[in-house]
Structures are given as C-alpha cells and as structure tokens.
C-alpha cells in the first residue's frame, strides 16, 4: 500500500511537471539549448539524422529542440527495450562516433579544457528512449555534473518500468535537466 501511495505521489508530481513544461515553454533565443530554426546550432557529423518531431514529442517544445527520441522506444515496446537490463549497451554508439562529435561540439560551444574533461552525454538518456546517434541528442557534459544527472536518469527509468507513462516522464526529464541547459552543466 505504501509503495502505491508513493507511486501515486510521484506520478502526480510528474504530471504537474509536464503541465508546467508545456505552460512555461521557453521562447527560442540565442541562449536556448538548441534552436530548431538555427541549422548552424545543430551539429552535422557522420550523417547524424534528425527526425521530424512526433505529436506530443517532449524533445521539441515551442520551436526549441532539446533532444531526439529513438523511434524504437514507445510505450508499447518498453518491456523489450529500455526495461531490459543491458539493452542500452546494445545501442550505445562507439567512441569512434562520439569523440569526433564531442570535439566538434566543444569547439562550437567554446568549452575550455580537453576532451577528457567531458563525456559525450545523451541529452535524453538512452534508458528513457533517447536517440543513440542523433547529434541533437548528444552534447559534451562535464564530469562534475554527470553523476547527478546519471542518478536522475536511473530513477526516471525505474518510474517508467514501474508503470509511469513514458512520455510524461520524458517531459519531466526535459523540464528538470534540459530546459535549464547549459546551466546544469558545470564547466
């Protein structure tokens, strides 16, 4: 009974966050994470695909592209994809793909330090259905912020696999972590 109450409270908080995200969606500007109308802001390397946003796509809000989704991960496929232990390892891109992209993005964003100071992070995590090789879903993240975000990713995945709605959890993740980007990333 206690776990059901906690789940209900968590789901309520996620719904409130999703409603807040839609109501307070940022207007595109030069300080936004990724402006979908600014092609120069979207890295193009190794033929990274950009898929049109689906209805109710939490990665595309008010003309801003925060991330990209893996079309293979849906509410109906989560039991054979993200909820399977080890599944993300089967789709994670190799370092030979992520390192050149990370270097290009570091230059574009004017990040200081070497590539070893950053990990190439999936903005919408693979474990929540993020696109593995889409350049709009990858960005350099300093190691100082990666641990907290990794913990949030695991908690969000647990919520989805315990029955929470995938799109609702994805929207809450965008609001919590990607909406304030790059502020969450310490440099």
**In a domain? residue 184:** no
Predicted pLDDT at 1: 52
Q: Over 80: is that where the pLDDT of 17 sits?
A: no
**In a domain? residue 156:** yes
Closest C-alpha among 30, 14, 23 to residue 128? 14
**In a domain? residue 125:** yes
72-114 confidence digits (pLDDT tens): 999 999 999 999 999 999 999 999 999 999 999 999 989 988 8
Q: Looking at mean pLDDT, say which of 19-23, 29-33, 171-175 comes out highest.
A: 171-175
Q: Which residues touch 178 (CB under 8 Å, ≥6 apart)?
A: 33, 66, 67, 123, 124
**In a domain? residue 22:** yes
**In a domain? residue 185:** no
28-66 confidence digits (pLDDT tens): 322 222 222 222 332 333 333 444 344 478 988 878 888
**In a domain? residue 8:** yes
**Domain assignment of residue 78, given as a range:** 2-178
Q: How far apart are CA 171 and CA 62, in angstroms?
A: 13
Tokens (6 digits) for 11: 């789901």
**In a domain? residue 137:** yes
Whole-structure pTM value: 0.68
User: What's the total number of domains in the chain?
Assistant: 1
Predicted pLDDT at 98: 94
């Amino acid at each position: 009974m206690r776990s059901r109450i906690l789940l209900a409270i968590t789901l309520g908080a996620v719904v409130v966050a999703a409603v807040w995200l839609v109501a307070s969606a940022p207007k595109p500007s030069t300080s936004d994470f990724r402006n979908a109308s600014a092609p120069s802001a979207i890295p193009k390397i190794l033929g990274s695909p950009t898929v049109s946003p689906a209805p109710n796509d939490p990665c595309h809000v008010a003309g801003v592209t925060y991330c990209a989704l893996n079309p293979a991960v849906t509410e109906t496929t989560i039991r054979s994809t993200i909820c399977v232990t080890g599944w993300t390892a089967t789709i994670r891109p190799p370092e030979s793909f992520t390192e050149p992209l990370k270097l290009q993005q570091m230059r574009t964003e004017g990040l200081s330090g070497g590539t070893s100071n950053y990990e190439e992070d999936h903005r919408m995590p693979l474990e929540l259905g993020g696109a593995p090789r889409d350049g709009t879903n990858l960005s350099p993240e300093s190691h100082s912020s990666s641990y907290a975000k990794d913990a949030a990713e695991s908690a969000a995945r647990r919520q989805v696999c315990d029955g929470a709605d995938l799109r609702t959890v994805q929207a809450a993740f965008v609001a919590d972590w990607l909406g304030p980007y790059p502020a969450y990333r310490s440099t």
